[in-house]
């Protein structure tokens, strides 16, 4: 447990450092010239999600940065989440489907989740499909 806490603490610190570098340098710090555009896009693509978490959900920057990390690995999920943040509704035309579920289907099954929670479940369905399906089948157990 102590190793896991240390790892999580290190990940939060790395995330905060990345966010700080992005804010201070426009995403270009420590980047090779050919990676500058990629790093700028990386910072900008997370900005909307972090802004929502901090300003709407009143989360601390450290928490918001950690919560937003899974969306950095999945552009398609991130894009749908950003659309949800802008419009407060799920994609209707050709929605992303993972393991047979769309975001709207997950919300119907778990109306206590907001868009971030729903799209986190989409990430879970992609990364750990069997575990995520067990959670869905159990009715999204909460602590």
Summarised one tens digit per residue, pLDDT across range 122-141 is: 999 999 999 999 999 999 88
Global pTM value:
0.69
Region 6-35: mean pLDDT is: 43
pLDDT, tens digit, 9 for 90 and up, residues 81-106? 999 999 999 999 999 999 999 999 99
* pLDDT for 51 beyond 50: yes
* pLDDT for 6 beyond 50: no
CB environment 85-103: b (16+ within 10 A), e (fewer): beeeebbeeeebebeebbb
DSSP β-bridge partners for residue 53: none
The mean predicted confidence, pLDDT, of the chain is 79
Region 11-24: mean pLDDT is: 44
**45 band by pLDDT with thresholds 50, 70 and 90:** low
Question: Do the Cβ atoms of 24 and 60 come closer than 8 Å?
Answer: no
What lies within 8 Å, CB to CB, of 33 at 6+ separation is: none
Q: Which of 127, 133, 18, 136 is nearest to 77 (CA)?
A: 127
Question: Do the Cβ atoms of 85 and 66 come closer than 8 Å?
Answer: no
Mapping DSSP to helix (H, G, I), strand (E, B) and coil, where does residue 93 land?
coil
- The Cα 99–Cα 132 span in angstroms is 10
Give me the pLDDT at residue 99, please.
97
Q: How many CA atoms lie within 13 A of 37 on its CB side?
A: 1
**42 band by pLDDT with thresholds 50, 70 and 90:** low
């Amino acid at each position: 447990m102590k190793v896991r806490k240390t790892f999580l603490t290190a990940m939060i610190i790395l995330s905060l450092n990345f966010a700080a570098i992005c804010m201070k340098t426009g995403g270009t710090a420590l980047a090779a010239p050919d990676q500058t555009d990629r790093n700028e896009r990386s910072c900008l693509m997370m900005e909307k999600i972090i802004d929502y978490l901090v300003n709407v959900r009143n989360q601390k920057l450290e928490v918001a940065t950690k919560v937003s990390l899974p969306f950095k690995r999945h552009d398609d999920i991130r894009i749908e989440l950003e659309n949800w943040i802008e419009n407060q509704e799920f994609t209707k035309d050709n929605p992303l489907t993972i393991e047979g579920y769309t975001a709207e289907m997950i919300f119907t099954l778990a109306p206590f989740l907001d868009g971030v929670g729903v799209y986190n479940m989409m990430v879970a369905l992609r990364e750990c499909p069997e575990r995520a399906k067990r959670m869905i089948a159990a009715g999204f157990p909460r602590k």
